[in-house]
Chains A and B, each alone.
Chain A
Amino acid sequence: MHEPETVAEAVSLLGQHGADASLYAGGTELLLAMKEGLLRYGHLVNLKTVPGLDRLDYDTSAGELHIGPAVTHRTLELSPEVAARFPLISDAESKVANVRVRNVGTLCGNLCFAEPHSDPAAFLLLYDSRVEVQGAGGSRTIPLDQLVLGPYETCLEEGEMLTSVSVPQFGPEMKAAYQKFGYHQRPTLGLGVAVRLENGSVAEARIAVGSVGPKPVRVPEAEELFLGKTVGDILGPASGPRLSVLDEAGRMAAQAAEPMDDLHGAADYKEHLVRIFLGRVFAEAVGAAPAAQRSAA
């Protein structure tokens, strides 16, 4: 167990020990995998010994939240600042795992492990978040949608460390909601919608879907489809033989998320969930009554 005092030292320890070393934050994933013998390391680099990495700051001038790598789910859940400015995050964080995992597990550890059944990886996409990464060769900034490549795979190079997640606040007119669904400890589906209405119709829309497929995604096609439509257009029934807006957007979202068969359910079941939850979450975001549950024609 190494106890670095600076990020540079942590990164250099990782470089020195290569594949035999791993960063260790809360350990809620790492220790599980090591106990199961799935991962083996001779060296753990405890990032919690670097002072300041547990900082959770709100930058007033930029309107951004900065989440350090030692910030736990529980800290985010209980932070009054997060509750006031990012209510969606505080609510979603209170529903991650159980209180013991939230006490110890970090948001950055969640992102870096890239277990597909993850909430933050999905809801942070709604905010156009960015991550800062530091390696031996210096630091770089990556848009969050480029971080996760697939199950347990991120674009971080060996020896690189995620040093911060930056989350820009929504504009004042943005209405957003996130819901998760599942019967297991981890989510089967996580879906978030953020919309801005202008004179009753959608002027900006963001849709993020997580957990059902190999990685969380935004769905630009469906976001575009919502533009210019009223809440009634979106939640209303189909006109004529065409699919309703919601069914069509749901189909796009399901396609983009690439649902996989796994212990949480079959791919076509998850496709169905995506369509249903898109309606529910949109309705919650705009404060409308939930859409009548219609199946696609």
Chain B
Amino acid sequence: MSSNRQNWSIPIELTVNGRGVTLDIPPQLTLLDLLRDRLSLKGAKRSCDLQVCGACTILVDGMAVSACTYLAYEARGAEVLTIEGMADGNDLHPMQQAFIDNGAFQCGFCTPGMILAAKSLLDETPRPSEEKVKEYMEGNICRCTGYRKIVEAILDAAGKTGGAAG
């Protein structure tokens, strides 16, 4: 990662939103830069760049990570999911719909990260308590909504998506 090695590149293969991608990357490239600059997927946002705010949250093999401080190299062979891959054609993912139904965003900057974090929560715990939702989502910061509607949206989505199982 020192300057004399900036020209190095390594080949990687990964799946992004269901689509196979093969490309050469510098080893120090972050996954956020790969997504935004190389693949033009601008849903994941950069804000703090410190793993604090969650605006860059995406899922790697289902696991929530901060793409701003995660090497693209680590996603080799993995399935990456960003907000652009959530909807099924024109049908929004239930979590997206729940955010709309509950008015869970204003400016929308935090929303892609919120929705992906919330998805990983429900994949792991289909019917979380309100307490659990608050705990899990603690690392995703929203400067507009005051969080209540976000928590309500997630509980709403849990009621719908996990309904039969719960």
Mark A residues whose CB is within 8 Å of B.
1, 20, 27-28, 31-32, 34-35, 40-42, 44, 94, 97-101, 103-104, 185
Q: Which chain A residue shows the least CB distance to B136?
A: A99
Q: Which B residues touch A94, using CB under 8 A?
A: 135
Bound: A104/B66 CA distance, A: 9
Q: Which of the four size classes fits the interface of chain B?
A: 20 to 34
B51 beta carbon closer than 8 Å to chain A: yes
Residues of B within 8 A of A99 (CB): 64, 117, 120, 136, 138-139
Task: Knowing A42-B5, A99-B136, A99-B139, say if A35 contacts B73 (CB, 8 Å).
Answer: no
* 17 A-B pairs in the complex with CB atoms less than 8 angstroms apart: A1-B10, A1-B27, A1-B73, A20-B2, A31-B30, A31-B69, A32-B50, A34-B1, A40-B1, A40-B2, A42-B5, A98-B138, A100-B65, A100-B117, A101-B139, A103-B64, A185-B52
- A41 contacts B1, C-beta separation under 8 Å: yes
Q: What's the Cα separation between A40 and B5 when bound, in Å?
A: 12
Cα A291 to Cα B6 with chains together (Å): 59
Please measure, in the bound complex, the distance between the C-alpha atom of A27 and the C-alpha atom of B138, giving whole angstroms: 21
Q: How far apart are the CA atoms of A154 and B120 in the complex, in Å?
A: 36
A264 to B161, CA, bound (A): 41
**Residue pair B1, A101 in contact (C-beta under 8 Å):** no
Quick one: CB contact mask for B1-42 with A, threshold 8 Å, 1 for yes? 110110000100000000000000001101000000000000
Instruction: Contact check, A103 vs B5: say whether CB atoms are below 8 A apart.
Output: no
Which B residues are in CB contact (< 8 Å) with A1? Answer: 10, 27, 73
- Asked whether, in the complex, the Cβ of B69 is within 8 Å of the Cβ of A35, the reply is yes
Task: For B8, give the chain A residue with the smallest CB separation.
Answer: A1
The listed residue (A34, A44, A104) touching B70 by CB distance below 8 A is: A104
- Chain A residues within an 8 Å CB radius of B51: 28, 32, 97-98, 100-101
A27 to B64, CA, bound (A): 15
Q: Which residues B88-135 have CB closer than 8 A to chain A?
A: 117, 120, 135
CA distance A109 to B97 in the complex (A): 39
Q: Which of A20, A34, A100 contacts B57 (CB 8 A)?
A: A100
Q: Check A27–B69 contact: CB distance below 8 A.
A: yes
Q: Measured between alpha carbons, how far is A99 from B125 in the docked complex, in Å?
A: 14
User: By the criterion CB–CB under 8 Å, are B139 and A27 in contact?
Assistant: no
By the criterion CB–CB under 8 Å, are B4 and A100 in contact?
Answer: no
Contact of B71 among A27, A42, A97 (CB under 8 A): A27
Residues on B with C-beta less than 8 A from A20 are 2
- Is A28 within 8 A of B136, CB to CB? no
Choose from A34, A40, A100 the contact partner of B64 (Cβ within 8 Å).
A100
A215 to B136 alpha-carbon distance, docked (Å): 29
Cα–Cα, bound, A41→B4 (Å): 11
Known: A31-B71, A35-B69. A100 touches B27 (CB 8 A): no
Shortest CB-to-CB span from A4 to chain B, Å, is 15
Chain A positions within 8 Å of B135 at CB level: 94
The residue on A at minimum CB distance from B27 is A1
Tell me the bound Cα distance from A40 to B28 in angstroms: 11
Residue B43 at the A interface, CB < 8 A? no
When A and B form their complex, which 8 residue pairs have the shortest distance between CB atoms, in order from nearest?
A98-B139, A42-B2, A100-B66, A1-B27, A31-B69, A103-B63, A100-B64, A100-B65
Complex Cα distance, B4 from A181, in Å, reads 44
Task: Give the distance in Å from the alpha carbon of A34 to the alpha carbon of B139 in the complex.
Answer: 22
B36 to chain A, nearest CB (A): 15
Bound CA–CA A242/B103 (angstroms): 59
Residue of chain A at shortest CB distance from B69: A31
Given known pairs A100-B51, A100-B57, A100-B64, the reply for A27 and B70 (CB within 8 Å) is yes
Q: Is the CB of B1 within 8 A of A44?
A: yes
With contacts A32-B51, A40-B2, A42-B4 taken as known, whether A103 is within 8 angstroms of B69 at the C-beta atoms is: no
Cα-based distance from A42 to B66 in the complex (angstroms) = 23
Contact in complex: A32, B10 (CB < 8 Å)? no
Closest A residue by C-beta to B139: A98
Q: A35-B69, A100-B66 are in contact. List 14 more A-B contacts (CB 8 A).
A: A1-B27, A28-B51, A34-B1, A34-B28, A40-B2, A41-B1, A42-B4, A97-B139, A98-B51, A98-B140, A99-B64, A99-B120, A99-B136, A103-B65
Which chain B residues border A103 with CB–CB below 8 Å?
63-65
